[in-house]
Amino acid sequence: MTTIQQALTQGISRDIDSLDAQLLLAHVLQVERSTLYAYPERELTPAQEQQYLALIERRAQDEPVAYLVGHKEFYGLDLIVDNRVLIPRPETELLIDTALHVCRQKIAAGSIPIVADIGTGSGAIPIALAVNEPRLPYLYATDISSDALAVASLNCQRNHVHQRVRLLQGDLIAPLPEPVDLLTANLPYVGASETAQLTPDVQNYEPHLALFSGPDGLDLLERFLTDVARSNVLKAEGVVLLEIGYQQRERLAQMIYALWPQAKLSIYKDYAGWDRVLQVTLSS
């Protein structure tokens, strides 16, 4: 019989990061990670050992832990993830903080904002906004991938916001039925030229539709901004919040000023110090 301690050692001997081995073992045993420290001598059943070793082998082939355990924590929420959606990243929590601030400013000024998230994937952004700002009556969330929207739908139900988050399939802003006050978007922004910089777990397992956007990663962001400028989808005094690549700020600022010469731009840096969230505030 294999003990918890021996199982973890086995994982590490397959070159698995010790935190990953703990997460996989805790998942198999259906316990908190702290239980592993408390009961290192506890024995696994043969079925548990087999399941754990199978997961360790898949992790050794670079499959992300979040896909192996089937969920990921984001902004204090538990989200279902699988290979139909991008795994929500901690950087995106900065977009949530900024969006909540914008919503609360608008509410304090006396208007309840209508929010739409474009390229919603797992639904991480609209779900975090809906859960944390109950005064938002409803939000829209679009994605071109019906597979991604199926996962988003499960996450809306799991987090009890399925009656407020309206999932719409289609290209960028095309499915939106009415003008909105705030557009959030974490669209694909990796350039084809950056493929070699991606780690194998990202490159080989996450959906390329969620990662790549033309040679320098800007194609979809440019089309999104142009679509917004040419439509009436953003109300006067509306705000766009974009998650961006760390080298994209200047190029995007040029595009934005060409489309909206009066726009006010703000940039927010992530915890690593990179430019990560770009706020565009329209003024009349």
Smallest gap from Cβ 151 to ligand SAM, in A, equals 9
Q: Give the span between the Cα atoms of 281 and 264, in whole angstroms.
A: 5
Q: Does 142 bind ligand SAM (CB under 6 A)?
A: yes
- Tokens for 202? 């990202």
Instruction: Give the DSSP per-residue string, 103-128.
Output: HHHHHHTT-PPPEEEES-TTTHHHHH
How far apart are CB 43 and ligand SAM at their closest, in Å? 39
Q: Which of residues 82-121 bind ligand SAM (CB under 6 A)?
A: 86, 88, 92, 119-121
Helices (H), 138-230: 146-158, 200-205, 208-211, 219-230
DSSP state of 74: E
What end-to-end distance do the CA atoms of the chain give, in Å? 71
User: Would you say 53 or 79 has its CB closer to ligand SAM?
Assistant: 79
- Binding window for ligand SAM (CB under 6 A); candidates: 58-66, 184-192, 194-202, 226-234: 184-192
The reply to whether 145 sits near ligand SAM by the rule CB under 6 A is: yes
Q: Judge contact between 182 and 236, C-beta under 8 A.
A: no
Rule CB under 6 A: say whether 227 interacts with ligand SAM.
no
Per the CB < 8 A criterion, the answer to whether 125 and 49 are in contact is no
Residue 22 C-beta: closest distance to ligand SAM, Å: 24
| Residue 203 DSSP symbol | H
Length of the chain measured in residues: 284
Does residue 209 bind ligand SAM (CB under 6 A)? yes
CA atoms within a 13 Å half-sphere pointing along the CA-CB vector of 276? 17
175 counts as binding ligand SAM under rule CB under 6 A: no
For residue 191, state whether it binds ligand SAM (rule: CB under 6 A).
no
Residue 44 binds to ligand SAM (criterion: CB under 6 A)? no
Least separation in angstroms between CB 175 and ligand SAM: 9
Instruction: Provide, rounded to whole angstroms, the least separation between the CB of residue 115 and ligand SAM.
Output: 13
Amino acid, res. 101 = H
Q: Which residues bind ligand SAM (CB under 6 A)?
A: 86, 88, 92, 119-122, 124-125, 142-145, 148, 171-172, 186-188, 209-210, 220
